[in-house]
Amino acid sequence: MMLDSRMDDLSEGIRSRIRLRYEQQFETILKEHSEVLQEMYEIGITSRLSLSQTQPIEIRIERVRKEMEDLASDLEVQLPSLPKKYSKVRRRLESLAAFCYKLSGEFIELERRAQEKIEREIQREMGRRS
């Protein structure tokens, strides 16, 4: 029983350290996300997302990732309806859609790497304790 409690504490400590590292990376990606939203706002597309700093990092990452996918899909849907004379805007939207998919992929990769690192750290600590 005591070992389980210690493992839970250890696991949570490892998760906290890793979460902090990935929060810093997330903030960097979030700056890029803000740049995308600003550029989209300039061409008349507004964000439906509001992020609270008090939400857990996992929820914030998932919400931004989901919005990036939604925005990329929305942009792809809008592209065919743009008249040819808007080719500059079309190229900008295509570029933004690609960037949105790229950021969405980065979020998925960030989550995957964080989970793998947590599992490795836990296994390493369990190995030390046995």
Q: Determine the pLDDT at residue 92.
A: 66
- 124 falls in which pLDDT band (50, 70, 90)? confident
Give the number of other Cβ atoms within 10 Å of residue 75's Cβ: 22
Mean pLDDT of the chain: 67
Stretch 58-78: mean pLDDT: 68
Q: Is the pLDDT of residue 1 over 50?
A: no
User: What is the DSSP track for 25-62?
Assistant: HHHHHHHHHHHHHHHHHHTT--------TTS-HHHHHH
Supply the pLDDT for residue 65.
Answer: 67
Per-residue tokens: 60: 């914030």
Bigger pLDDT: 49 vs 39: 39
